[in-house]
């Protein structure tokens, strides 16, 4: 073996200077549980490695230290059971800082990349400290989990959920934020009243698992500033809450502060869902750093080809071997930890189709791991949401896992955008999205709420940018505008970027309302991108993963400028709650129902005739029978064209609730204030607008 890094071997120093170092003694350990756990008079360590020939535990005195105070060399004869290296260190206490080192074969062609010079993060560590530029990430032995303050879990039914996707730091980091500690878990907790007032039920946070490569090796060519791994989709560890969002920057306080944030949101009846990344790690491809998994058991943790090269189904250089039982156990234990000890209410799995890939990388329909997560007793009651694709060509939307799983409906995003852009041939797909995407989900025994509907998300344009840019503008990312999707299905309303033209700005506001109204009128579970409710912009950057600056942060100063969008969003959420048919858990059938034998849902063209789907006419309308909506009939009209269109209405008294062509506050009104529609049973829907009518006399009684 090559010489070890500097530091004293603890096996030779057990009785050295006990007043300064404490007196540590080694006792045989047990193979379970994996990780570092404080027990009685010491700490128990257990690390799985099927190929390591030698393992050391490096102990550090201070959070910022780069060399250990001492090291413990584990004896293979005394401290290894099967493939688990385990020892009980008597005299060590909670809060102790440690890393591993491991030696073994360095044979990349056979998948082995051991390097005894590298300090390694424990895959089961609950807390990681000093994970910053120039720092050395270390693990901290956890204290007892903080006692719950008694806040009960909200348990929002999927059909009632309204998801708000946001970033812990970006939510409050902007100077316009009034947070006491901007960019932290504590600041998210301070936003609870805002979320409740808006009407959302579930806060979905971009990754909070501790990530690697905090600072990227390039600069913003426009400003010269260093670019960072802002989104956090490069996990270093699957258990540890990210220290960069804690009040002291991550010196151990992150665990309790994350838990306090969750409890504070729970007290307001808000759920917390985490965007989790189990498909790849920050160690990247063959030229990446040795930080944890690669130096512990590379061939076990990653998908490799026959020559030891990394299979890349993630676009990030490596792919986690989820099909291996040891790796699957790690993932399940991580989820249990977040759900049980940190009390989160659900998970959105990034590139979840990777979990359906076997050990050889081939795609399966329903892997044992995906089924195990759905059936795990600890995870019952938590929301499971899949991003049901990967960059290797998998696309499993509507068919991912069992009916316990919901998934991001990428078809909803694309088809709704096409329709409102005015693409020919888009109305049939738009109608399917509005009615819960039955052709995607129903054949697989899914209900409408299994579809997570969204128009925008962190990855892509914001809603304001969707109607302001035809092309991406990612020059600030330092990749010559080659990163990010070119398939945005956007329309700039005639001018690229910001403009003072009042006509263009009026049209952009109208189209933002169209998208918001469609999102909340559609069957399924709506997801709102944080900041879309008040016109947040990234100035055309559709891949702001590295922009830890005002480009990505929520500028709360926009609330005044775009107050009508904010008001409209709140009112649309209220409208959705008023009408149970929008939250129904069964698909429409078109079959007769109610006392008059009318269909539960019927489609019409602008002339009031049954809709001919092959007709190139884009405008369409639908009527929901009152029997499906607590006695309230709905008539929805959609005009994605650039000219106003007259619609002929069914002959009954109607009142106007929503009309995106009208200026605020008349764009959406309460049932009590809704004006009656002319008795001529005709209604003009403005260009690029929608309108919703309700049956007169049935609502608000």
Active site residues: 350, 387
- Letter string b/e over residues 161-183, b meaning 16 or more CB atoms within 10 A of that residue's CB: bbbbbbbbbbbbbbeebebeebb
Question: Of the candidates 433, 423, 431, which has an alpha carbon nearest to the alpha carbon of residue 616?
Answer: 423
Say how far apart CA 37 and CA 32 lie, in whole Å: 10
- What residues contact 209, with CB distance under 8 A and at least 6 apart? 232, 235, 236, 237, 238, 239, 240, 241, 242, 274, 276, 277
Alpha carbons 17 and 192: distance in angstroms, whole number: 51
Residue the block writes with tokens 């309108």: 691
Give the Cβ contact number of residue 22 at 10 Å.
Answer: 11
Which two structure tokens, joined as six digits, stand for 366? Answer: 């329903």
Tell me how far apart the alpha carbons of residues 594 and 399 are, in angstroms, rounded to a whole number: 33
- At 361 the three-state DSSP class reads coil
CA angle 130, 132, 137 (to 5 degrees): 40
**Which residues on adjacent β-strands are paired with residue 603?**
622
Q: State how far the alpha carbon of 258 is from the alpha carbons of 145, 187, 458, 694, in Å.
A: 12, 11, 22, 44
Query: What does the DSSP 8-state code read for residue 640?
Result: -
**Number of other CB atoms surrounding residue 306 within 10 Å:** 9
* H helix intervals, 526-618: 558-561, 563-578
The residue ranges of DSSP E strands in 412-537, in sequence order, are 451-453, 525-529
Q: What's the rounded Cα separation, in Å, for the pair 439 and 451?
A: 12
Token pair belonging to 376: 């795990």
Give the C-alpha distances (Å, rounded to integers) separating 695 from 24, 80, 629, 677: 78, 74, 11, 10
Between CA 661 and CA 112 the distance in angstroms is 63
Q: How far apart are CA 258 and CA 241, in angstroms?
A: 7
Task: Give me the DSSP letters along 470-491.
Answer: SS---GGGTSTT-SS-S-----
Angle at 48 between CA 298 and CA 140, to 5 degrees: 100
Whole-angstrom distance, CA of residue 692 vs CA of residue 485:
34
- Can you name the residues that pair with 655 across neighbouring β-strands? 676, 694
Give the three-state DSSP class for 685: strand
Q: Sort strands 451-453 and 525-529 into parallel, antiparallel or unpaired.
A: parallel
CA 206, CA 193: separation in Å to the nearest integer?
20
Q: Give the three-state DSSP class for 189.
A: helix
């Amino acid at each position: 073996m090559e010489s070890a890094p500097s530091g004293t071997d603890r096996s030779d120093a057990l009785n050295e200077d006990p007043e300064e170092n404490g007196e540590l003694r080694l006792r045989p350990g047990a193979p379970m549980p994996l990780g570092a756990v404080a027990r009685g008079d010491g700490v128990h360590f257990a690390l799985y490695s099927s190929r390591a020939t030698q393992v050391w535990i490096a102990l550090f005195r201070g959070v910022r230290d780069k060399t250990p105070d001492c090291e413990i060399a584990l004896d293979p004869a005394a401290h290894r059971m099967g493939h688990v290296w385990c020892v009980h260190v008597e005299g060590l206490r909670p809060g102790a800082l440690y890393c591993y080192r491991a030696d073994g074969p360095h044979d990349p062609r056979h998948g082995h990349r051991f390097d005894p010079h590298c300090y390694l993060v424990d895959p089961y560590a609950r807390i990681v400290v000093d994970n910053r530029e120039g720092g050395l990430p270390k693990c901290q032995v956890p204290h007892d989990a903080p006692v719950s303050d008694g806040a009960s879990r909200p348990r929002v039914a999927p059909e009632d959920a309204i998801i708000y996707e946001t970033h812990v730091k970006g939510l409050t980091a902007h100077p316009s934020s009034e947070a006491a500690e901007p960019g932290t878990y504590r600041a998210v907790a301070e936003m609870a009243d805002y979320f409740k007032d808006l009407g959302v039920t579930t806060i979905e946070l971009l990754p909070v698992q501790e990530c690697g490569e905090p600072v990227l090796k390039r600069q913003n060519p426009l400003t010269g500033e260093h670019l960072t791994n802002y989104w956090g989709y490069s996990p270093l560890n699957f258990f540890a809450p990210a220290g960069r969002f804690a009040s002291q920057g991550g010196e151990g306080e992150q665990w309790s502060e994350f838990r306090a944030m969750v409890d504070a949101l729970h007290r307001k009846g808000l759920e917390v869902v985490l965007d989790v990344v189990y498909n790849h790690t920050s160690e990247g491809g063959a030229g990446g750093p040795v930080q944890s998994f690669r130096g512990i058991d590379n061939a076990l943790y990653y998908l490799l080809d026959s020559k030891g090269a990394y299979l890349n189904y993630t676009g990030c250089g490596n792919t986690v071997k989820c099909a291996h039982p040891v790796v699957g156990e790690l993932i399940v234990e991580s989820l249990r930890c977040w759900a049980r000890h940190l009390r989160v209410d659900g998970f959105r799995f990034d590139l979840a189709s990777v979990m359906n890939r076997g050990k050889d990388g081939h795609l399966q329909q329903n892997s044992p791991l995906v089924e195990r997560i759905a059936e795990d007793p600890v995870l019952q009651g938590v929301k499971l949401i899949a991003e049901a694709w990967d960059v290797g060509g998998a696309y499993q939307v509507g068919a991912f896992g069992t009916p316990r799983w919901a998934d991001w409906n990428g078809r909803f995003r694309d088809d709704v955008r096409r329709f409102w852009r005015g693409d020919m041939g888009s109305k049939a797909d738009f109608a399917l999205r509005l009615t819960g995407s039955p052709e995607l989900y129903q054949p697989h025994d899914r209900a409408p709420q299994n579809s997570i509907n969204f128009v925008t998300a962190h990855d892509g344009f914001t809603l304001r940018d969707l109607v302001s840019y035809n092309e991406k503008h990612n020059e600030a990312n330092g990749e010559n505008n080659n990163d990010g999707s070119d398939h945005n299905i956007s329309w700039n309303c005639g001018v690229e970027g910001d403009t003072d033209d009042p006509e263009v700005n009026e049209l952009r506001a109208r189209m933002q309302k169209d998208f918001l109204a469609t999102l909340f009128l559609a069957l399924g579970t709506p997801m709102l991108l944080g900041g879309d409710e008040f016109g947040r912009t990234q100035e055309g950057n559709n891949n702001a993963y590295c922009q830890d600056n005002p480009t990505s942060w929520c500028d709360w100063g926009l609330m005044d400028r775009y107050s009508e969008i904010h008001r409209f969003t709140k009112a649309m959420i209220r409208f959705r709650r008023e009408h149970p048919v929008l939250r129904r858990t069964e698909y429409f059938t078109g079959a007769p129902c109610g006392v008059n034998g009318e269909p539960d849902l019927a489609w019409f063209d602008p002339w009031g005739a049954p809709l001919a789907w092959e007709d190139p006419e884009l405008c369409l309308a639908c009527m929901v029978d009152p029997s499906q909506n607590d006695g309230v009939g709905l008539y929805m009209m959609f005009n994605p064209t650039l000219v106003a269109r007259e619609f002929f209405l069914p002959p009954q008294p109607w009142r106007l609730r929503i009309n995106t062509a009208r200026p605020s506050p008349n764009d959406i009104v309460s049932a009590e204030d809704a004006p009656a529609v002319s008795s001529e049973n005709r209604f003009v829907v403005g260009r690029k607008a929608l309108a919703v009518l309700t049956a007169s006399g049935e609502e608000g009684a």
